[in-house]
Structure 1
Amino acid sequence: MEKCTQTARGPVEVEVVGTGIPVLVLHGSPGGIDGARAMTQFLDKDVFCCIHLSRPGYCKTPLDPIAPSIDAEADLLAALLDTLGFPRVCVLAWSGGGPPAYRLAVRHPSRISAMVIIAAISSSWVASKPHLSERIMFGTSIGEWLIKYMATHNPEHLVEEALKGEGSLRGKKLHAVIQHILAHPAQVKLIADTARTINIGGERKAGWQNDVKNYADIKTLELECVSCPVLLVHGDADSDVLPVYSQYAQARLPNSELIMMARGTHVSFYAHQEAEVVQERARQRFREYD
């Protein structure tokens, strides 16, 4: 079970699951330890040791009271690795987990052996203003209940709405992807599990608001200074974090590879016709650089 662990830089809600190659897991914005847990469903816990955590301001991990910056988060992650006794790890980051992953690699390069960065922010990002329906669905306890209900009783509708909201696919292209996902229970489960973690209110509100502010203010993440190998994965129909963010990163990272998934939404690494193939590429990257 997860617990709050005290580090030299403050407490972190964290759990360590599995044995083998250590993988530090950085969820998106919003999210939490439950989102990190969902992200590693494709990793065999007999091969990979997954370090799930809530990023600052999410769930039980508090914000830095003095300067809740991206760099402060990176230093907190390094302190967590010290406390847990991991001298070196791989990193798996999705979406809003990208900026702290990059800054960790810049500020503490000896701690990172390889990174897999999924549909992630790599430069200044301004959150779109949510519609009233989105504020109700993702910012209230009623919306949180509705998502949990759909995840249990109507996953087909949840899959359709998730792909519409996270990508630009429509019509026959959207229908084809939905039908594929519905035929693969693991992909349906990933969308359902992730949907439960994206409420921007309650115990996730502080983290969400901090990310929105910090990411809009990004001048540079110093991607040119990241020395470890990076596998970038993005869907070309992602409307949440546009594909240009991974293209921008790939052009600046010294040792990187970009996989652009055709007809892929923001969740394509986990829910897509080629998801299993790309996931195996990610596992192989972690095994290569352990």
Structure 2
Amino acid sequence: MLGAVLAGGFLLALIAGLIIANSIQTRIEADHPPAGEFVEVDGTRLHMRQTGPSDREPILVLHGAASNMEEPFLALADTLKDEHVLWLDRPGLGWSDRPDAEWSPRAEAALITRLLDTLEIDRALVIGHSWGGAISMRLALDHPERISGLVLIAPALGAWIGDAAWFNKASFWPVIGPLFTRLLVPLTGKPQLRSGAVNAFHPEPVPEGYAETTSLALLLRKPNWLANARDMADVNRHLEQQEPHYHKVEHRTIFLAGKGDTVLWSHRHSGLTASRMKNAELRWIKGAGHNLHHHQQDAVAAAIADVRAG
């Protein structure tokens, strides 16, 4: 009898937790609605925003893991106000869908290239931050004719950077995975997002209202969480496949790396990669962290100008 009572109580608590978690996700979607336009590419709906004069060479901005286009937009919108900029929610993140197929940087680069086709854009200068840097390099490797140059901000490029965080792998465990993504992620995720932001900015300060302004909580939506978790769970395998080919990239490329970055070891990523490329330059920024584009906008603008000049 006692066992039945305990089991019934656990079931009721689980149901109540799932209801609360679902309401949290609904609230997140209401608080952070799509702010751009939707473009359908090969049956996949992508969310993006275009700003600036259309007669300039486009700049494509690719955000990093766990975020969306609002993250770099907050940092660089004013700096790039006179540029034609494509701010993209990378497939599976923000409000962009991801095809229901095995995913990889190669597949993502191919879909982004087809987006450029849809928008009738021949070439673009690409800015990639963190994991967006890995996608940028995949674009340069697979579709070099579509890229005019690269500005890579604290990019994640080197294989075997350590095991994926346990929660990324746990999201795909049988039985536990669905409960984790539907229950624990919405209920406990927001404090983790804030602590993650502090780590990403260290040693620089997190801008006031950063999490809210960048719609960071969209990561707690089930499809967003699973897309990002899959990317990060497979990160070493993806980078192992593309790292040996970086020397083939001939585009003018400028790497921006923070001396204080605690998210990744930039000597291993930006440093080693830049040394292997024919037309690359690494610019160290003292006192900067992983999200350096929020406090070092002048360095980003100078890199863009120098890539074009080069």
TM-score past 0.5 threshold: yes
Q: Which runs of 5+ in 1 are unaligned?
A: 149-157, 182-186
Q: Which runs of 5+ in 2 are unaligned?
A: 1-34, 168-179
In the superposition, relative to structure 1, how do residues 227 and 215 fare at CA in structure 2: closer, same or farther (>3 Å)? same
1:259 corresponds, among 269, 283, 307, to: 283
Higher mean C-alpha deviation, range 18-27 or range 55-64: 55-64
Name 1:31's counterpart in structure 2.
67
Structure 2 counterpart of 1:212, one-letter code: M
1:142-191 CA-to-partner distances (Å, cap 9, x unmatched) read: 6666699xxxxxxxxx7xx6675236x6xxxx5xx54xx8xxxxx65667
What does 1:53-64 correspond to in 2, within 5 Å? 53-64=88-99
CA contact (8 A) 1:7 1:79 kept: yes
Higher mean C-alpha deviation, range 256-265 or range 200-209: 200-209
CA contact (8 A) 2:150 2:254 kept: yes
> How many Å apart are 1:219 and its aligned residue?
1.4
1:107-136 CA-to-partner distances (Å, cap 9, x unmatched) read: 110111011100111122443447xxxx9x
CA contact (8 A) 2:94 2:218 kept: no
> Aligned pair count?
255
Greater C-alpha Rg: 2
What does 1:1-290 correspond to in 2, within 5 Å? 1-8=35-42, 10-19=44-53, 20-45=56-81, 47-124=82-159, 125=161, 126-129=163-166, 140-141=185-186, 164-166=198-200, 174=203, 177-178=204-205, 188=208, 193-194=213-214, 196=216, 199-217=219-237, 218-221=239-242, 222-243=245-266, 244-271=268-295, 275-285=296-306, 287-288=308-309
Structure 1 counterpart of 2:287, one-letter code: R
In the superposition, relative to structure 1, how do residues 260 and 287 fare at CA in structure 2: closer, same or farther (>3 Å)? same
Query: Partners in 1 of 2:80 and 2:210 — Cα distance?
Result: 15
- SS of the equivalent of 1:210 reads helix
- SS of the equivalent of 1:92 reads strand
Question: Which protein has the bigger helix share?
Answer: 2
CA contact (8 A) 1:96 1:211 kept: no
> How many Å apart are 1:223 and its aligned residue?
0.8
Name 2:14's counterpart in structure 1.
none
Structure 2 counterpart of 1:18, one-letter code: G
Task: Give the alignment's TM-score, normalised by structure 2.
Answer: 0.71
> How many Å apart are 1:27 and its aligned residue?
0.6
CA contact (8 A) 2:72 2:293 kept: no
- SS of the equivalent of 2:73 reads helix
Structure 2 counterpart of 1:208, one-letter code: N
Paired-residue identity, %: 21
Structure 1 counterpart of 2:63, one-letter code: H
> How many Å apart are 1:214 and its aligned residue?
3.2
CA contact (8 A) 2:151 2:304 kept: no
Structure 2 counterpart of 1:82, one-letter code: D
- SS of the equivalent of 1:72 reads helix
Query: Partners in 2 of 1:92 and 1:24 — Cα distance?
Result: 6
Name 1:155's counterpart in structure 2.
none
- SS of the equivalent of 1:13 reads strand
In the superposition, relative to structure 1, how do residues 30 and 276 fare at CA in structure 2: closer, same or farther (>3 Å)? closer
Q: CA RMSD in A?
A: 3.1
Query: Partners in 2 of 1:209 and 1:18 — Cα distance?
Result: 33
Name 2:12's counterpart in structure 1.
none
In the superposition, relative to structure 1, how do residues 40 and 202 fare at CA in structure 2: closer, same or farther (>3 Å)? farther
> How many Å apart are 1:65 and its aligned residue?
1.9
